[in-house]
Structure 1
Amino acid sequence: MLAAVGHCGACQEFDPARVPDDPVALFDEWFCHAVDSGVPEPHAMTLATADAAGRPSARVLILKDVGPDASWHFASSAASRKGRELTANPVAALTFYWPALGRQVRVEGPVLVDPPEVSAADFLARSPTARALATAGTQSAPYTDAAEVTAALAGVRDTDVAPAHWRSYAVHAEAVEFWQSDPDRRHLRLCYRRSPDWTRTLLWP
């Protein structure tokens, strides 16, 4: 489970020779260190997807949870561009970048939809305005005037029920790379790969 902000312990210096056997434990250490170091929005991440033709797109959104099975969770409308791309091509890549610490984490793998109760719980945990927008609009669809959004929001009557298009997604990691910067550009890169157990490999800068 994703560590709660403000409740993380100290993180040791990064030594590839002394790391956990699985990437989730190391990610938790790095995430905690980012929180304790005051990194703004440490749970912000870039999500990269591609359509059926392989054309990529990327955007920044919020990590909601990390499961012990190495699943990184986020939520969106299935009608949005990323939702449509995940339907057509259910694989994705995530990137966390904490520049103040000189650290990146990259996650790659297939994407599965979480159970309906998980999607519903994510929706209900959102602010009233976020729920109303998700219910009233079609994310990523064009509009011509702000009055259209205002009118759509005014027509929303009940946001206590998740709309059918709301999804919680999970990237089930097949590869997780931890990147530590070096002032001499000899960046330290450690990659975990699942095949089916986790193995670790150092990568050239």
Structure 2
Amino acid sequence: MGENGPAGSIRDLLRGLPVFDTELPGFDVDAAPSDPVALFAEWLTSAVEAGVREPHAMSLATADAGGQPSSRVLICKDLGADGTWYFATSAGSRKGRELAATPYAALAFYWPEQGRQIRVRGTAFAADAQRSAADFLARSPGARADALTGRQSQVLDKPSDLEAALRAAHAQIEADPEAVAPGWTLYGVRAEEVEFWQADHDRRHIRLRYTREDAAWARHRLWP
């Protein structure tokens, strides 16, 4: 495309968008907790109190056996004191299959209202069946019905097929409120590295990285 074609228009649109055009909170690295779990809890609480929309939404990046990556946004379900972030999905989904082939994952939270990012990287594992079932049963009826169709990421030829499958799933829930979708799995990502990133209007962004060292965490401030 030429300079004035769609590509140029998109480029101009992107370059014209404001960045960090809000009041940004401070980040005193020297006063940060000794472990990333405590700092995440502080930042999450601050985000909720500041009215950040869906602060529990995070991107999940996985890779298949050939190293080809994919990412998507989903909900963080829990955070363990040992530095394990949790989410849930079907083991038969694309992300479930990729985690089985390559049990490593990266997570990212982004809260634009505060100019904050949190990046997590570590080893992924499946929780036991009891915890996975408990997670499933805590979902809304609609979310459970969707999972019970068992066809996530498959090709949908006709919308009517989806409607029929959902009707059958809702009927199954009514008949058996304790029904759990086969393959529903709670996954954990045991962090080996966690980075907290605070934007600065002068682009002197503040970055603090925690790296797991046995039972403790090492902390390093990074260049912007």
**Map of 1:26-175 to 2, 5 A cutoff?**
26-156=39-169, 157-159=171-173, 160-175=178-193
1:18-73 deviations in Å (ceiling 9; x for gaps): 11111000000000000000000010000000101110000000001101010000
2:203 maps to 1:185: yes
Structure 1 portions without partners, runs of 5+: 1-11
Q: What is the rounded CA distance, in whole Å, between the counterparts of 2:180 and 2:186 in structure 1?
A: 11
Q: What is the rounded CA distance, in whole Å, between the counterparts of 1:65 and 1:142 in structure 2?
A: 31
Structure 2 portions without partners, runs of 5+: 1-24
Percent sequence identity over aligned pairs: 56
1:115-135 deviations in Å (ceiling 9; x for gaps): 211111111111112111111
* Equivalence for 1:6: none
Q: What is the rounded CA distance, in whole Å, between the counterparts of 2:80 and 2:180 in structure 1?
A: 23
TM-score, normalising length: structure 2: 0.84
Instruction: Return the letter of the residue paired with 1:81.
Output: R
Q: What is the rounded CA distance, in whole Å, between the counterparts of 1:137 and 1:111 in structure 2?
A: 22
CA RMSD, Structure 1 to Structure 2 (Å): 1.2
The alpha carbon displacement at 1:145 in A equals 1.1
More helix by share: 2
TM-score, normalising length: structure 1: 0.92
Q: What is the rounded CA distance, in whole Å, between the counterparts of 2:26 and 2:172 in structure 1?
A: 49
Instruction: Give the 3-state SS of the residue equivalent to 1:100 in structure 2.
Output: coil
The alpha carbon displacement at 1:153 in A equals 1.8
Q: What is the rounded CA distance, in whole Å, between the counterparts of 1:59 and 1:137 in structure 2?
A: 19
Larger Rg: 2
Q: Which runs of 4+ in 1 moved over 6 A?
A: none
The alpha carbon displacement at 1:195 in A equals 1.7
Instruction: Return the letter of the residue paired with 1:22.
Output: D
The alpha carbon displacement at 1:13 in A equals 4.2
1:94-131 deviations in Å (ceiling 9; x for gaps): 00000110100000000011121111111111111211
Q: What is the rounded CA distance, in whole Å, between the counterparts of 2:146 and 2:182 in structure 1?
A: 14
Q: What is the rounded CA distance, in whole Å, between the counterparts of 1:203 and 1:77 in structure 2?
A: 37
Q: What is the rounded CA distance, in whole Å, between the counterparts of 1:81 and 1:149 in structure 2?
A: 19
2:217 maps to 1:201: no
The alpha carbon displacement at 1:169 in A equals 0.3
Instruction: Give the 3-state SS of the residue equivalent to 1:177 in structure 2.
Output: strand
Instruction: Return the letter of the residue paired with 1:158.
Output: Q
Instruction: Return the letter of the residue paired with 2:172.
Output: D
